[in-house]
Amino acid sequence: MQTLSRTLFLVALTAMSAVQAAPRDDILAAYTAQAKAEDATFAGFSAARGEALHRDRHSGGKADSPSCTSCHGENTRAAGRTPVGKSIEPVAVSVAPTRYTDAAKVEKWFRRNCREVLGRECSAREKGDWLAFMTTQ
């Protein structure tokens, strides 16, 4: 009986995590298609490039937020903080499994935050790289 309920629980859990991972995969697939369209030599996303995008200090954006880490913090698994002092949930998928599952939300914040940090919108490749990095975190 106990084994059965444990099995059922595990099945439900797997089903649940599949439900959460699927939209994230869809979002990545959409960025892949877009990246290919933007650059014929595109050969897949890179978590290492994503990490550099995340941690580097950029110029071109706002002086008080030169890096993604200005708000999201150095530690991807810890909470970040907005300039107004509000706490931001961690960005690492391992500790925030519901993240990057709503395409409109993801797009909205990439648009806002890339302008804020880089002074321009991010390319599809940059977005995919960044998401690839967060998925490894």
Partner 1 sequence: MKPLIRSIAVGVALFAVGAVMLERAKAGSDEFFAPVTDPLTRQECGSCHMAFPAGLLPARSWQKMMGELDNHFGEDASVDAATAKQITTYLVAHAADSTGYGDMRRWLRGVSASAAPQRITELPKWVREHREVSPREWTRKEIATKANCVACHVDAERGYFEDD
DSSP, collapsed to helix, strand or coil, labels residue 126 as helix
Residue 101 near residue 23 (C-beta atoms within 8 A): yes
Over the window 106 to 125, marking each residue x when it contacts ligand HEC by CB under 6 A and - when it does not, the resulting string is x--xx-xxx-xx--------
Cα–Cα–Cα angle for 128, 32, 50, rounded to 5 degrees: 20
What residues contact 8, with CB distance under 8 A and at least 6 apart? Answer: none
Q: Report what 70 binds from ligand HEC, partner 1, none; CB cut-off 5-8 Å by kind.
A: ligand HEC
Residues forming contacts to partner 1 in the complex (CB under 8 A) are 62, 81-86, 108, 111-112, 115-116
Residue 130 binding partner per list ligand HEC, partner 1, none, with a CB distance cut-off of 5 to 8 Å that depends on partner kind = ligand HEC
Among residues 89, 119, 120, 121, the one that binds ligand HEC under rule CB under 6 A: 89
